[in-house]
Structure 1
Amino acid sequence: MSNPHPYSSYLPTDKGLLNAEEKSLFAKHPTKGLYALSSAKTSMNYTSMYFKTNGYQDNSDAFRHSFWQALVAHTYENSFAKQWGDAHESTSIGIDKKMDLLNNEIGRTVGSTTNGNQAIEGRIAQKLLSMIANGKLYQIQNNKLVATDSTGRK
């Protein structure tokens, strides 16, 4: 399925791609905002490493969002990661928004409960990949929210 809202399927990696709510949050917290942007880029890179595509409404989309939120929650607090994730989704609607918000929440839980800093990206990625394969995150099929599975992996 092609994405009718290209912005909503990707994470902003520079200030020029921010929506109005993200810009407002960035202005209040520029250091954390830069980390959120950097984490978005890292998330897209990891998605490309593990999946055939940086897709839309599929397992790669679930991974990209949850991984991004996990990184932000691990480095800062859950509340800031949630603020940023909610700001990012402020322009999304319907089932796509619901999917992203659910996956963001799961990512924040993984990020805030993964201890240490050494090899954190790899450890978080492996936890989320396992959760995706075991149906613990969300994707959309036939316009319905369904459990993730192992499809789309490289």
Structure 2
Amino acid sequence: MSDDERTAAELAAGSRMDRVNGLIRSSDYQALAEFRHTLRRFLAFSEAAARNSGLTPQQHQAILAIKGHGDGGMSIGDLADKLLVRHHSAGELVDRLVKADLVIRQESADDRRRVVLVLTPQAEVVLEGLSTVHLDELRKTKPLLLALLNALP
């Protein structure tokens, strides 16, 4: 058991023991802080991995959202919703993705008035590499995340 996992297990045990009548105790704050730190550490890893692959973190997030959307294609509005940005910001990001040969705009097969976003083969290759290292990192972090989730109220 790593030091992080041991800390999370101790927080989980302490959190359950000292929580009385729904009050937030010191161990609850510790568990929340450690959980947030672990998430931030993963995000920092993700941002660095994207940059090392020649993408900005937002470009990585966008092509992952498009790929994860599945068949039928994703509209710019759908992408804006997934990225939690305004439609025009998503449109500008898509313009940059098109210019970088990562995304193409395509007429929807279901509705010719609708434009959907499709990844290029280049984006597929970059995304596969990034996804592989992200899944490896999540597998390493999984025991700690589970312990921290169990420590939360």
- Which structure dedicates a bigger proportion of its chain to helix? 2
TM superposition score normalised by structure 1: 0.28
- Name which one, 1 or 2, has greater alpha-carbon Rg: 2
TM superposition score normalised by structure 2: 0.28
